[in-house]
Amino acid sequence: MIQGNTSRRTAFAIAISEALSLLSFTAYAQGTGPSATEPALSQGFRFFEMSGKELFANVCQGCHMSDAKGAIGAGTYPSLVADRKLEASGYPLHIVVNGQRGMPPFGAMMSDDQLAAVVNYLRTHFGNNYRDAVTSEDVKAVRR
């Protein structure tokens, strides 16, 4: 009796799996996936996000966490919360453009406007209140 129940369960699980596969294939074929004009992810070596908030969410929070408190594990990712190192705008801009230690350089992956936006976002969020905005001209100076 137990063996009969196991066989029925297995057959039911296979049938459900096949039905779900067919439904997902049908949905994909009907074009419910990302459109060609709006990519779901950044394409290639450059980021398409433009606001500082979007860039932080899609680039920075993978290491620094969504609350910007950082993490310790496979590496050490510093907290950006109420960070006095962000006070002088040139320092975080230099780090984001050129990288430092384990942090990769993002200068080649972001435009001047994107770099300014993400640094300004960091400097005005997460307990940071540094209101002197970084401009794309500041970014150009750091790139030289």
DSSP-derived secondary structure for the chain: -HHHHHHHHHHHHHHHHHHHHHHHHHHHHTT-S--SSS-SS--TTS----SHHHHIIIIIHHHH-TTS--EESSSEE---TT-GGGSSTHHHHHHHHH-BTTBPP-TTTS-HHHHHHHHHHHHHSTT----S---HHHHHHHH-
Q: How many domains does the chain have?
A: 2
Pair 18, 72 in one domain: no
The pLDDT, as a whole number, for residue 44 is 57
The pLDDT, as a whole number, for residue 75 is 83
pLDDT at residue 121 is higher than 50: yes
Pair 30, 61 in one domain: no
Enclosing domain of residue 77: 52-143
Residue 41 domain-assigned (yes or no): no
Pair 1, 27 in one domain: yes
User: For the segment 13-56, what is each residue's pLDDT rounded down to a tens digit?
Assistant: 676 666 555 555 444 444 444 445 555 555 556 676 789 999 99
